Amino acid sequence: MKILLVSDKTFYKEQALIRFNLKKHTGIFQTTDIGKTHKGINTAKIFIDKDILLLKESDAILICNFKKGKQENHIGEYSLMIATLAYFLQKKIYLLYDMPSNKYKEQLMMLEAISLNGNLNKI
């Protein structure tokens, strides 16, 4: 199964370890803004367009929701947006850890996100 890994941009480095530990599946990294950007180019639009193409090629998404600051299991706006698109495209939505206790918990429950509680073997 092809799985698109998404997370807050502060967790891009942690995604590599998650991808390595997806033994039975192929992990695909989301588009990142690492590197040089050019003035006048809307890089955010380019990234979302590329991520939508990656999502269409994937069977599922895995939201890597680590602790950020004082918040456990952080999920940001971009990850929620990708999860909503995954739901629309009838892809499975996995959370690496439990649901966050923030304003997005209810939305993630509506999207039928599956919490793995850190166990990648549950995929």
pTM: 0.88
Name the token pair of 78: 């971009």
- 120's CB contacts (< 8 A; 6+ apart) are 18, 21, 22, 23, 96
Question: What is the three-class DSSP state of 65?
Answer: coil
The model's confidence at residue 65, banded by pLDDT at 50, 70 and 90, is very high
The reported pLDDT for the residue numbered 47 is: 84
- CATH number of the domain within which 118 lies: 3.40.50.450
Q: Beta strand pairing status for 2-6 and 60-63?
A: parallel
The model's confidence at residue 94, banded by pLDDT at 50, 70 and 90, is very high
Burial class (CB in 10 A: 0-12, 13-18, 19+), 2: middle
Average pLDDT score over the chain: 89
The number of distinct structural domains making up the chain is 1
**Domain limits for position 48:** 2-33+42-122
- The residues facing 121 across adjacent strands are none
The reported pLDDT for the residue numbered 9 is: 81
